[in-house]
Amino acid sequence: MNELNQKSMQTPAEEENRRNKQVKEIDIRVRDLERKMDDKTKLLEIITSEHKEEKLQAEKKLTDLNMQHSQCDSDNKLEQSNLLKKFTEEKDRINQDHTNTLNEKIKSKTAQTKIVEKTKSTKIGKEKTHITEYYNQLGSNKNNIKN
């Protein structure tokens, strides 16, 4: 027989038992679903808590890395400034040494030139005197020959 016929054939006590049984089954399912929902809520809270903790740790690490980066950047700028200062000082020293060397060479060349000029004028003066004496001697020889 079909279900409708079975229901009509049940007594009110059987009907009440059947309904009570259904209510108990529904109540068990509701409690089971509530338990599962509570478990899921607890799990969600745990996951959320872990996520917040991981986020805080990540932010802390990021802050530390940013601080390290800033410190490295600052150290690099200081080192670059020091190196530039040393380079400039060394360049100035080398330029000064080069200028001093050039000045010494110029003084030396000037002194050599003065010595050469003096020697030249002395030699030219001696040659001039020698030529003049030779010329005068020729002139006197010529006068002696005429007489």
What is the per-residue pLDDT across 86-138, written as a single tens digit (0 to 9) for each?
A: 999 999 999 999 999 999 999 999 989 888 888 877 877 778 788 888 878 87
Q: Provide the residue ranges of all domains of the chain, joining segments of one domain with +.
A: 3-108
Predicted confidence at residue 8, as pLDDT, reads 58
CA–CA dist 68, 138 (Å, integer): 102
Overall pTM > 0.75: no
How far from 137 is each of 142, 146, 147, CA to CA, in Å?
Answer: 8, 14, 15
Q: 105: part of which helix (H) or strand (E)?
A: helix 12-146
